Structure 1
Amino acid sequence: MKQYEKIGWLDHVTDVVTGEVIQEGTPVSQTNMNHMDDGIFANREAAILHEAQIAAAQQEIKVLKDATLNNMVNNVFLKNFDSVTAVAITSGIYDPVARKIYV
Structure 2
Amino acid sequence: MESRGTGVRYSEVSEAEAIARRLGDAQLLCFALSARFMQTFTSAGLAADRAEIGQELITTAFDADSPTSEINGRLIRMQALCAVNDTSSASTKPMR
The bucket for the TM-score relative to the shorter chain is under 0.3
Provide the TM-score with structure 1 as the length reference. Answer: 0.26
Higher normalized helix content (fraction of residues): 2
Whose relative contact order is higher, 1 or 2, with alpha carbons under 8 Å and at least 6 apart?
2
Q: Name the larger-Rg structure.
A: 1
